[in-house]
Amino acid sequence: MTGRTGRAPTLDEVARRAGVSRSAASRAINNAIHVSPATRLAVERAVRELGYVPNVMAQALARQKVGAVVLAASHDNAELFGDPFFGQVIVGVTSALESTELDLKLLLCHPERGHDRVRRMLRRPRADGVMVMALRGDDPLQRMVVESGLPAVFGGRPLRGRPDWFVDVDNRDGGRIAAEHLVRLGRRRIATIAGPADSHAAVARLDGVGDALSGADLDHTLVEHADFTRDGGARAMERLLERDPRIDAVAAASDNMAAGALQTLQLHGRRVPQDVAVVGFDDLPIARLVQPALTTVQQPIRSLGYEMARLLLAVVDGEAPSSLLLPTRLVVRESAPAAG
């Protein structure tokens, strides 16, 4: 059946007519347990009025268990699976699944290609639920997951929209912690190497740095964005030094970028921490391997994976758990030692 325009009505139109979110409409259509009676009635009415035809395969998924869950990430480089951060997430996920009979499927989706393969994975009865790693911008993976009707937990929040279930790190507070440490050290020309502007984590960390610097009545406009990589951090540090050679501290939104900043500072003859103090974010192994070792904001990466899987198991079982925001803490090392 088609609408007045001659095309089939969409899930978005059903959600708007019912006055609910797209994910709530999808769960109601797919007969999920965790839907309020009022939402279910509103969606059923919208379906009738619009003549919406549900995805039969997605409904089948809601009624049967297949013994597997998916950990999906949108990335244009297969080396993601060798990244220490992602590796720790996987360790956390698998530890939460050890006591279950569920298999874990890893799904890497190129942000511009391979969407058909992802749709097949999500629409056929191949998984009971999906965990989605932090997405950037308007990544179509977010929409595909929601439209699948599968129970879904996001690791890190997308920049746009609010998923029903997520596990995230308090990135804003982490950025604040990093900048406040530099302020306590007496640094006054504090620059920031921020992550990509279409990343929720990067934006939140930058906001946290801004909170601390504004509170100390310091300039918080010395900002350059990079891509969370070592090379990106090195190039961003070059740009910052061109803008202001008087910089005496740097807050980087990842340890990889902080390591790149160290490299550039050393090439320019700047001593760390005497001339420029540096703080990273993550507490990955590289933070202890570079010279000097990085002061950094530690986020509980393994716990992030564990809690994602724990929440997903609860949702698959028909529960409605609360999303989680995990704390960060400062780890002080040689790149920005505590004041004596």
Amino acid at the residue 160: R
Looking at the fold, whether 309 and 287 belong to one and the same domain comes out as no
Query: Is 125 found in the same domain as 33?
Result: no
Please indicate, yes or no, whether residues 312 and 286 belong to a single structural domain of this protein: no
Does some domain include residue 334? no
The radius of gyration computed from the CA coordinates of the chain, to the nearest angstrom, equals 23
Nearest to residue 152, comparing CAs of 128, 125, 135, 119? Answer: 128
Residue 137 phi, psi dihedral angles, 5° rounding: 60, -140
Residue 113: its pLDDT value, please? 61
| The 223-225 sheet, strands edge to edge | 223-225, 190-194, 249-252, 277-282, 295-298, 329-331
Please tell me which residue, 34 or 227, carries the higher pLDDT value. 227
Q: What pLDDT does residue 31 have?
A: 67
Given pLDDT bands bounded at 50, 70 and 90, which one contains residue 144?
confident
Burial of 321 (0-12, 13-18, 19+ CB in 10 A): middle
Which CATH number is 229's domain given?
A: 3.40.50.2300
Omega within 30 of 0 (cis) for the link into 151: no
Are 293 and 181 in a shared domain? yes
- The pLDDT value recorded for residue 327 is 97
- The pTM score is 0.79
**324, 312, 309, 308: which is closest to 169 by C-alpha?**
324
Same domain for 231 and 180: yes
- 247 with 143, same domain: the answer is no
For residues 338 and 340, give the distance between their C-alpha atoms in angstroms, rounded to a whole number.
Answer: 6
Residues 183, 151: one domain? no
The confidence score (pLDDT) of residue 332 equals 98
Query: Any idea which of 149-158, 176-185, 243-252, 255-264 has the lowest mean pLDDT?
Result: 149-158
User: Does position 198 have pLDDT exceeding 70, yes or no?
Assistant: yes
Q: Has residue 336 been placed in a domain?
A: no
Give residue 285's domain range: 171-299
pLDDT band at 146 (very low <50, low <70, confident <90, very high): confident
Q: Between vectors from CA 204 to CA 203 and to CA 210, what angle results, nearest 5°?
A: 90
5 lies in some domain: no
Helix, strand, or coil (residue 339): coil
In a domain, 263, yes or no: yes
Q: What is the pLDDT of residue 109?
A: 75
Return the pLDDT at 57. Answer: 45
Candidate ranges 50-59, 91-100, 321-330; pick with highest mean pLDDT: 321-330
Higher pLDDT, 257 or 164: 257
Residue 199 maps to a domain = yes
The answer to whether position 211 is within a domain reads yes
CA–CA distance, 327 with 173 (Å, rounded to integer): 8
pLDDT class of 68 with cuts at 50, 70, 90: confident
Determine the average pLDDT of the residues in 66-90. Answer: 78
List the one residue out of 28, 32, 54 whose CA is nearest residue 123: 54
For the domain that residue 23 is a member of, what is the CATH number?
A: 1.10.260.40
Has residue 120 got a pLDDT over 50?
A: yes
Model confidence band, residue 2 (pLDDT cutoffs 50, 70, 90): very low
Q: Apex CA 217: angle with CA 174 and CA 338, to 5°?
A: 50
Query: Is residue 235 a part of any domain in this protein?
Result: yes
Q: Let me know whether 183 and 280 are in one domain.
A: yes
The rounded mean pLDDT for the chain is 87
Q: What is the mean pLDDT of residues 285-307?
A: 96
In a shared domain, residues 175 and 293: yes
Check residues 193 and 127 and name the one with the higher pLDDT. 193
pLDDT tens for 274-288 read 999 999 999 999 999
Query: Is 306 in the same domain as 200?
Result: no
Give the Cα-Cα-Cα angle 124, 129, 130 (nearest 5 degrees): 100
81 DSSP 8-state letter: G
Asked if residues 25 and 36 have their Cβ atoms less than 8 Å apart, the reply is no
Query: Do the beta carbons of residue 152 and residue 131 sit within 8 Å?
Result: yes
2, part of any domain: no
Give the number of domains in the chain. 3
- Residue 136 and residue 213 in one domain: no
Alpha carbon separation from 105 to 67, 89, 292, 307, 316 (Å, rounded): 11, 14, 39, 17, 16
Are both 207 and 282 inside the same structural domain? yes
